[in-house]
Structure formats: structure tokens, C-alpha cells
């Protein structure tokens, strides 16, 4: 079994998630996967880098991501740093021959995302984007059902993604309000939702969107009377037309009180419907037409070992996987992509298709008209 040196860049919410996944993937899945070894870690501050190195037993840490990318012992790089750094780090890593697991959104600008896809097309390294939700075994089951005609011909797709971490007006101005982080909810949530739409239904060809911000400004620090203008959008709604002709909608908010991980979708077909809510990630609901109306209805399907790779985590059905487990599945997917054992679901080539839709949504909102997605 070969060892794969991992360089981790960013140690916050997602960096920790990647590190946990890298450590868990080999024991969880076993078999002939290469054995990842966290080799070097980089963060924005000494305290964070040192803490991650200690917690995960990583031999070396640095404050300069270029050292990670240049390290001959690093074969694959996890990019879990802020959005505006993704492109520069990914391009440097690909140029150095590394494999790249980049968090979403791919990049801030479409030009950067296109440059990343172009670089990946000729580089020896393999790439994936961190669209972890599509790694849920039940979403794979939903996709299989849709593809195998389990709900008939798809007639409509609807998706919402709501959380409330920006719902409090008194929350101080931060990176999420800074235009350097991107458009706002479109990059944060829109990229996940568009990825999901492509995964379940197919490519989106045309969009019409509106964006909004619930607060025009925020205090510069907690409790301060001085305010700073909010430069991003926390709310977006959109109509979609897929290349297949199917229509749909997206709605997203980072300021929806009470919603914590409200990534919900419905796919309607001419013979049934599938529903999912990420706040209950271990169940999908399936309605199939033709049952006796007196006893028929939505069936709740609980995740279990019959939905691979749930079985690698737990032999008992209904015991449930969590958010971090999705990242372990994603790490295994990446290892198999690197080994040539399976194609990437979202490599940079597929990721840039998502980014084209995200940027079309932003343009549609700015120009108040339908926009065709370039290349769809």
C-alpha cells in the first residue's frame, strides 16, 4: 500500500473537517486505498497552525502556503483557506504536480475558475471540489432512482438552502460581508445548490435571479455604533431552465432565522416525487404514483448499509451518518479518483460548469433579465 503525503491549507471549520477525513478514510474503508498522511499544515496564524499540528500529529507547520505546495513530501493539497486564495493556491499546486482537493466556491471570478479548469486539463494532478452534500449515500440513491425512472420523467426541480448565521443585525461586519469573498450567498450556498442540480437533474442552461441584503450595514465591531457597508448579498432567488428543457427554482438565505442546515430539494417526475432536507440527512422521502390513495403516501427511506458506502461506517441501518462522514466519503472518492479507480463527480472541469451558472445568476440579478449559461 502506498503512502500519500497531504498538505493542509486552512485549519478552521473546513480545514478541521478535511484533517478528520484524511485520518479516518483509510481505517473506515480499508481495502487497497493508499494511506494518506498529513505531512504539513498551513494556517493564517501561528496559534492555529501549531494547534492543528499538535492535534493531528502533523510534523511540520508553516504560515506560507507556498511551502506546502513546494514540499516534495506533499502529493495532494487540501485547500480549506478563504475563497479569495483558492485560485492562486490551486494553480501553484497543479503546476507543482500535486493533486488538489479545493473547497467550494472554486474561485471568486469566473476567469479564475476557467484558469483553474484549463490548468487541471493538462496537469498530471487530479482535482475535486468540496461539494460534500452529493456524497450522502441517500443522494446517490436519489440520483439512481431518478436515472432509472423511479419517478418517471423529471418535470420540476426545486432547491432551497437556508441558514441563519447572518440573520442577526448586530453581528459585526466580517469576511462574509466583504466583496473579496465573492457575491455572498451565491458563492456560499448557490455553488452547492447548482452542484446538486447538476448531480441530480443535469446541466442548467438559463437563469433569472434576484439578490437582496437584509442589512445595508453592520457594526464594525460587536456593540459599536460605527457601521460599515455590507458588500455582499445574503439572499437570492432564481428560476432555472435545464439544458433538457426541465424548469426549476433555487432560493437561498444566510439570514433565515431558525434554519441551521436547511438544504432541501424536491424533484418531481410524472410518476413520483423525491424530497430531502439536510437537517434530516439520513432520510429521503419517496412518493410513487399509482398506490391506493387510501393508504398511499410518501415513504420515508432511512439510510442503511444497502446505500453504499454507509456500510463502511456502520452495519446497522438507521443509525445515521453526519456531516463529517460526508467528508470522509469525499476523501475516499478523491483517493479513488487519484488511483484512476473512478471518475471525479466534480473535478475542475465539472466545477467550472457550476461556476458559470453561479456567475450567470449574479449577472442576471445585476441586469434584471434571463441569462444563458455560457457553454451549457
Ligand X SMILES: NC(=O)c1ccc[n+]([C@@H]2O[C@H](COP(=O)([O-])OP(=O)(O)OC[C@H]3O[C@@H](n4cnc5c(N)ncnc54)[C@H](O)[C@@H]3O)[C@@H](O)[C@H]2O)c1
Tell me which residues touch ligand X (CB under 6 A).
9-15, 42-45, 48, 65, 80-83, 85, 103-104, 130, 132
- Of 342, 323, 313, 334, residue with least CA distance to 281: 323
Nearest-approach distance from CB 9 to ligand X, in angstroms = 5
CB-nearer residue toward ligand X: 174 or 296: 174
CB nearer to ligand X: pick between 138 and 376: 138
Minimum Å gap between C-beta 132 and ligand X is: 5
The 3-state secondary structure of 209-237 reads EEEECCCCEEECCCCCCCEEECCCECEEE
- What minimum distance in Å lies between the beta carbon of 102 and ligand X? 8
Burial of 28 (0-12, 13-18, 19+ CB in 10 A): middle
Least gap, CB of 80 to ligand X (angstroms): 5
Q: How far is the CB of 48 from ligand X (least distance, A)?
A: 5
Q: What distance in Å separates the CA atoms of residue 275 and residue 355, rounded to the nearest whole number?
A: 25
Name the minimum Å distance from CB 109 to ligand X.
14
How many residues would you count in the chain? 376
Q: Which is closer to ligand X, CB of 81 or CB of 90? A: 81
Closer residue to ligand X in complex, CB, 215/346: 346
48 or 206, CB closer to ligand X? 48
Shortest distance, CB of residue 354 to ligand X, whole angstroms? 13
Least distance (Å) between residue 90 CB and ligand X: 12
Q: Could you tell me which of 284, 252, 283, 276 has the C-alpha nearest to residue 163?
A: 252
149: phi > 0 → left, psi -120 to 50 → alpha, else beta; which? Answer: left
- Residue number, nearest CB to ligand X: 12
Do the Cβ atoms of 145 and 286 come closer than 8 Å? yes
Give the number of other CB atoms < 10 A from CB of residue 294.
6
In the bound state with ligand X, the residue whose beta carbon lies nearer, of 187 and 203, is 187
Which residues contact residue 319 at a Cβ distance below 8 angstroms, ignoring those fewer than 6 apart?
none
Measured from the CB atom, the residue of 64 and 226 that comes closer to ligand X is: 64
Considering the complex, state which of residue 58 and residue 301 has its C-beta at the smaller distance from ligand X.
58
Provide, rounded to whole angstroms, the least separation between the CB of residue 35 and ligand X: 24
Closer CB to ligand X, 224 or 324, in the complex? 324
Amino acid at each position: 500500500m502506498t503512502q500519500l503525503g497531504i498538505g493542509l491549507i486552512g485549519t478552521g471549520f473546513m480545514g478541521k473537517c478535511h484533517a478528520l477525513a484524511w485520518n479516518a478514510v483509510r481505517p473506515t474503508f480499508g481495502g487497497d486505498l493508499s494511506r494518506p498522511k498529513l505531512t504539513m499544515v498551513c494556517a493564517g496564524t501561528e496559534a492555529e497552525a501549531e494547534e492543528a499540528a499538535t492535534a493531528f500529529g502533523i510534523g511540520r507547520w508553516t504560515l506560507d502556503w507556498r511551502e506546502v505546495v513546494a514540499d516534495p513530501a506533499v502529493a495532494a493539497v487540501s485547500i480549506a483557506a478563504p475563497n479569495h486564495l483558492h485560485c492562486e493556491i490551486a494553480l501553484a499546486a497543479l503546476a507543482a504536480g500535486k493533486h488538489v482537493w479545493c473547497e467550494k466556491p472554486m474561485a471568486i471570478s469566473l476567469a479564475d475558475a476557467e484558469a483553474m479548469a484549463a490548468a487541471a486539463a493538462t496537469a498530471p494532478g487530479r482535482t475535486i471540489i468540496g461539494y460534500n452534500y452529493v456524497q450522502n449515500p441517500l443522494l446517490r440513491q436519489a440520483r439512481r432512482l431518478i436515472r432509472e425512472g423511479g419517478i418517471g420523467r423529471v418535470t420540476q426541480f426545486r432547491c432551497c438552502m437556508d441558514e441563519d448565521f447572518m440573520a442577526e443585525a448586530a453581528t459585526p461586519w466580517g469576511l462574509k460581508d466583504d466583496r473579496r469573498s465573492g457575491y455572498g450567498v451565491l458563492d456560499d450556498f448557490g455553488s452547492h445548490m447548482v452542484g446538486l442540480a447538476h448531480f441530480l437533474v443535469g446541466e442548467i442552461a438559463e437563469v433569472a435571479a434576484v439578490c437582496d441584503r437584509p442589512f445595508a450595514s453592520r457594526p464594525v465591531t460587536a456593540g459599536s455604533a460605527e457601521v460599515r457597508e455590507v458588500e455582499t448579498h445574503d439572499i437570492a432567488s432564481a428560476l432555472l431552465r435545464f439544458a433538457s428543457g426541465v424548469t426549476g427554482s433555487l432560493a437561498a438565505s444566510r439570514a433565515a432565522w431558525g434554519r441551521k442546515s436547511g438544504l432541501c430539494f424536491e424533484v418531481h417526475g410524472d410518476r413520483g416525487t423525491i424530497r430531502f432536507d439536510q437537517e434530516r440527512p439520513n432520510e429521503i422521502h419517496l412518493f410513487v404514483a399509482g398506490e391506493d390513495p387510501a393508504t398511499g403516501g410518501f415513504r420515508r427511506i432511512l439510510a442503511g448499509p444497502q446505500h453504499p458506502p454507509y456500510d463502511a461506517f456502520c452495519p446497522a441501518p438507521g443509525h445515521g451518518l453526519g456531516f463529517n462522514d460526508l467528508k470522509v466519503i469525499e476523501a475516499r472518492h478523491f483517493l479513488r479518483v487519484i488511483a484512476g479507480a473512478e471518475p471525479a463527480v466534480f473535478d475542475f472541469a465539472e466545477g467550472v460548469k457550476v461556476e458559470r451558472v453561479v456567475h450567470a445568476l449574479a449577472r442576471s440579478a445585476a441586469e434584471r433579465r434571463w441569462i444563458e449559461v455560457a457553454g451549457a
